[in-house]
Amino acid sequence: MRIYDIIEKKRDGQKLTKEEIDFFVQEYTKENIEDYQASALLMAIFINGMDEEETVNLTESMAKSGDMLDLSAIDGITADKHSTGGVGDKTSLIVAPICATLGIKMAKMSGRGLGHTGGTIDKLESINGFNVSLKTEDFFKQVNDICVSIIGQTGNLAPADKKIYALRDVTATVDNISLIASSIMSKKIAAGAKNIVLDVKCGSGAFMKDKESATLLAEMMVKIGKKCGRNMAAVITNMDIPLGSNVGNALEINEVIDILNNKGDKQLRELCIVLSATILSISLDWDYEVAYKKAEQTIIDGSAYKKLIEFVTAQNGNEDFCVAPVSSKSLEIKATKDGYIQSINSRIVGESAVLLGAGREKKTDTIDYGAGIVLYKKTCDKVSVGDTIAILYAETDERLKNAEKLFNTSYTIDDEKPEMKPLIYKTIR
Ligand code: URA
C-alpha cells in the first residue's frame, strides 16, 4: 500500500477502505509518512469529507494507536463526560462528584486549556497540592474506593490523534465534522468508559457556531460511540455566553464549591444536573426524571459536596480548599450607559482571561492560577451607568490594561431587552 494512492483516491472523492485508513494512521504515528503527505490527505478529507463508516474506522484506528485503557479492574459501572470546550466550563468538577455520590464510577482523564478555552486539569492544579498524575493502579484503586478520580491524559492515549491534531492545527483542517468527531471519540474510546455523555457546545465560544453543525457533530459522535459498543448521549448547549460567572482557574474552583453548596449561577447548576441525570439514565437505565431528582438531591443534601472534598483530599489536595489566591491586582469594568447587555461574546471573554494570565497562548506558557474574570452582569441583564459588569484579576497592571481593552469589545449595551436564548438546546441519544 502507498500513501500516494490513498491521497489520490480521497482527492478524487472516493471512499477509503478500513485498511487504507489504518495504514495512514498507524504509519503516520510511526513517522513512516511525511507531514506533507499527511497534510495533503487531511486537506482532501476536509474538502471531500468522509462518510460514517470511514469516520468510525478513523476513530477506531486512532484509538488503538496507543494504550487502550482497560477499566475491567474497576468494579461497577463506569462513565465519562466530555465537553467540546468552552469558556467558564467547570461542569466536570460538579458532575463527577454528583454521579460518584450515586455510585457511578467516574474514572476521568481530562486535558489542559489551550487558547481561549480552559481545561479541567489546570483548574484542579489551582488547588494547593492536588496531584493530577496518579499511577494507573492508584487511579483504579481510588475509583474503586470512592467512585471518582480525575487525572491528566497519559502520554500514550491515542498518540495518532495527538500528531494528527497538531498537523490539522497548522494546516487549516480543524473544522471538519468527521475529523473533530474522530479526534474526540478516539480519546474517549481509548479511555475505556462504558457510558459516555458529551456536552457539545455551540455558539461564539465554541468550535461549532450554530445549532445545525453542533447537531451534526453530536449525532456523528453518538453513532461512533454506539458502533464501538458504548452507551452514548450528547447534550447540545449554548456557548454564546460564558458558563457561570467565573472564568479562570482558582475562580472556577470557588464557583464549583458554591454550586455544590446550593449557591451560585442557576444556569450552571441546571446544566450540571442535566448532564448528571443524562449520565445516570444511560448508565443505570433510570427514568430521566427520576435521575434528575436524585442528582439534584445530592446538591440539596450536601452529599455531592462531601464527595468533592473526599475526591480532592484523596488526590492530595488541601482539605480547606486553599486554592491559589486570586491575583493581587484587580480592575472593575463599569457600564458607561443605561440599558440591557445585548450579548457577551464568550470567545473574547476567554481570550481576555488568557491576557490576564489565566490561560496559555502556547503549550509552554505558565499559568497564573489566580488570574481571571468574575462576571457580575450577563446577557439580558439591566445595567445603569456605573454598575459593575465584571472584575478582572491579574498580577500586573499591564495585563489588566491589555485585557480591559479586549474585554470591552466583548459586550454591547442597548435600550431593548434581548431575547434570552436557552442554555440547553437538545439531547441526542
Ligand atoms: N477537540 C479535540 O479533541 N479534537 C478536535 O478535533 C477538536 C476539539
Three-class DSSP category at 185: helix
Distance separating alpha carbons of residues 251 and 253, to the nearest angstrom: 6
Burial class (CB in 10 A: 0-12, 13-18, 19+), 285: exposed
Report pLDDT digits (tens) over 17-31.
999 999 999 999 999
- Cβ neighbors of 121 (< 8 A, separation 6 or more) are 110, 111, 112, 132, 150, 152
Q: Can 245 be counted among the known catalytic residues?
A: no
- Which pLDDT score is estimated for 75? 93
Q: Is the CB of 165 under 6 A from ligand 1?
A: yes
The ligand 1 atom at the shortest distance from the C-alpha of residue 183 is: 4
Q: Can 35 be counted among the known catalytic residues?
A: no
- The three cell numbers of residue 173 are 483542517
Q: Can 414 be counted among the known catalytic residues?
A: no
pLDDT tens by residue, the chain, 429 residues: 999 999 999 999 999 999 999 999 999 999 999 999 999 999 999 999 999 999 999 999 999 999 998 899 999 999 999 999 889 999 999 999 999 999 999 999 998 887 788 899 999 999 999 999 999 999 999 999 999 999 998 768 999 999 999 899 889 998 899 999 999 999 999 999 999 999 999 998 788 889 999 999 999 999 999 999 999 999 999 998 999 999 999 999 999 999 999 999 999 999 999 999 999 999 999 999 999 999 999 999 999 999 999 999 999 998 777 677 788 999 999 999 999 999 999 999 999 999 999 998 777 888 999 999 999 999 999 999 999 999 999 999 999 999 999 999 999 999 999 999 899 999 999
Q: How many Å lie between the centroid of ligand 1 and the Cα of residue 263?
A: 32
Longest CA–CA span in the chain (Å) reads: 68
Q: Over pLDDT 70: what percentage of the chain?
A: 100
Cell 482558582 -> residue: 250
Given 187, 188, 294, 378, the catalytic residue: 187
Q: Can 82 be counted among the known catalytic residues?
A: yes
Distance separating alpha carbons of residues 79 and 325, to the nearest angstrom: 33
Best residue among 109, 165, 220 to mutate for probing ligand 1's pocket (most ligand atoms within 8 Å of CB) is 165
Q: How many Å lie between the centroid of ligand 1 and the Cα of residue 183?
A: 5
Q: Is the CB of 181 under 6 A from ligand 1?
A: no
Nearest CA to ligand 1 atom 1: 184
Q: Is the CB of 114 under 6 A from ligand 1?
A: no
Q: Which pTM value belongs to this model? A: 0.94
> Domains in the chain, ordered, with CATH?
3-49 (1.20.970.10), 71-154+170-314 (3.40.1030.10), 329-414 (3.90.1170.30)
Given CA atoms 186, 122, 264, 300 in this order, what sign does their dihedral have? positive
